[in-house]
């Protein structure tokens, strides 16, 4: 009978018969953790706010019972949105560096089991031997936190986070990729991609100008790298022609000269001209000429009574960025420094006029 047929109809058909829309069956895709969270959050937002007020458009029926059902469904969807937002906020909070409170870009797991930004932790351990989180004694050993890096990257690249947070992340990651010195060297293509995304998110004139400067610098680095790569072929041609030019060695020396040419105008403004009180952790750079450094250490600086002295191990500090461990004596006008790069090795004393002040602690 017609009644029996109606009773045996599928729930979807019954829903259509009541004037309600049939919802398509959503098939779950196999995704990573970060992408799955992003998908869940987006779905909750779509379900809970389709008409701008958090309510789904009403069906053709206007009965009080159906309106009540719709109101209940809307409230449920808003709860889903709130729940997803809370989960997302917790995930983001757990992926901020405890030292900088910034989103992780190059995360590492320290000996205390917590995750930190690599550079921030290295700087912390220059002046402290305890965990930033537990304050218990801790060594410098770290391992890369690959899962944390992937989760943060997916949340940012899927546009789940706000524009300012994404802008800061892409800028920080672009700078990190451009500055990589470990083999195989800087990731210029990856850095350029990050800064191009930063440029799309930049809104203020200062943000736009800074990002454009980063992109121009990367173009300059790329052009320079291509020129230097020609040295191998030119070296082979010169040798076959008995030209006698050692181009490869010259290019290596030229690379040091380029560094000096680029950094000297900036460093010249920060060269220390007087001895002053500096807080522990202040970042200092030592002059990058070994002969000049030795000469400055073997004579008393201005207004000092005695020289600092020279030790061959101090050669390892030439051109290095260091942190102040303590201020020396007024009689020597010096500072006790420790290298930022690992292994940091022993601390050594240097006169103030052999140093460049980079940033205060």
pLDDT bracket for residue 300 (50, 70, 90) = very high
Apex CA 298: angle with CA 297 and CA 301, to 5°? Answer: 65
pLDDT bracket for residue 30 (50, 70, 90) = very low
Q: Report the pLDDT averaged over residues 182-211.
A: 94
User: Residue 205: what are its φ and ψ, rounded to 5°?
Assistant: -55, -35
The DSSP string of 84-150 is HHHHHHHHHHHTB-TTT-SBPSSEEE-TTS-EEEHHHHHHHHHH--B-TTT-SB--S--EE-HHHHH
Checking if the pLDDT of 295 tops 80, the result is yes
Checking if the pLDDT of 193 tops 60, the result is yes
Q: Which residue did the predictor score with more confidence, 66 or 182?
A: 182
Please, what is the angle between helix 205-240 and helix 188-201, to 10°?
160
pLDDT bracket for residue 240 (50, 70, 90) = low
pLDDT of residue 142: 94
pLDDT of residue 64: 60
Checking if the pLDDT of 352 tops 90, the result is yes
Checking if the pLDDT of 33 tops 70, the result is no
pLDDT of residue 227: 83
Which residue(s) pair with 65 in the sheet?
none
- Spatial CA neighbour of 55 closest among 73, 79, 69: 73
Structure tokens, 198: 């930063």
pLDDT of residue 36: 53
Dihedral sign, CA of 81, 83, 86, 90?
Answer: negative
What percentage of the chain has pLDDT greater than the value 70? 74
Q: Which residue did the predictor score with more confidence, 265 or 50?
A: 265
């Amino acid at each position: 009978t017609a009644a029996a047929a109606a009773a045996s109809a599928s729930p979807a058909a019954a829903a259509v018969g009541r004037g309600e829309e049939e919802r398509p069956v959503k098939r779950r895709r196999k995704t990573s953790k970060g992408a799955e969270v992003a998908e869940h959050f987006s779905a909750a937002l779509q379900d809970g706010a389709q008409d701008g007020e958090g309510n789904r458009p009403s069906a053709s029926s206007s009965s009080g019972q159906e309106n009540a059902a719709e109101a209940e469904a809307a409230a449920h969807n808003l709860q889903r949105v709130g729940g997803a937002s809370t989960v997302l906020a917790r995930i983001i909070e757990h992926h901020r560096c405890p030292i900088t409170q910034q989103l992780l870009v190059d995360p590492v797991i320290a000996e205390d089991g917590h995750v930190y930004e690599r550079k921030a932790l290295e700087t912390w351990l220059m002046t402290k031997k305890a965990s930033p989180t537990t304050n218990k004694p801790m060594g410098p050993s770290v391992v890369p936190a690959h899962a944390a890096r992937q989760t943060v990257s997916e949340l940012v690249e899927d546009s789940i986070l706000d524009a300012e947070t994404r802008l800061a992340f892409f800028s920080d990651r672009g700078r990190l990729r451009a500055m990589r010195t470990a083999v195989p060297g800087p990731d210029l293509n990856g850095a350029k991609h990050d800064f191009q995304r930063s440029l799309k998110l930049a809104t203020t004139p200062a943000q736009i100008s800074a990002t454009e400067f980063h992109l121009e610098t990367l173009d300059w680095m790329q052009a320079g790298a291509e020129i230097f790569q020609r040295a191998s072929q030119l070296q082979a041609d010169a040798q076959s022609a008995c030209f006698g030019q050692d181009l490869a060695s010259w290019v290596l020396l030229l690379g040091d000269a380029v560094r000096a040419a680029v950094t000297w105008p900036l460093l010249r403004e920060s060269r220390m001209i007087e001895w002053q009180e500096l807080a522990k952790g202040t970042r200092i750079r030592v002059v990058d000429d070994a002969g000049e450094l030795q000469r400055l250490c073997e004579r008393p600086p201005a207004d000092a009574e005695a020289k600092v002295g020279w030790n061959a191990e101090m050669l390892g500090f030439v051109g290095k960025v260091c942190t102040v461990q303590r201020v020396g004596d007024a009689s020597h006008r010096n500072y006790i420094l420790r290298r930022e790069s690992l292994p940091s090795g022993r601390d050594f004393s240097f006169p103030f006029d052999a140093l460049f002040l980079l940033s205060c602690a």
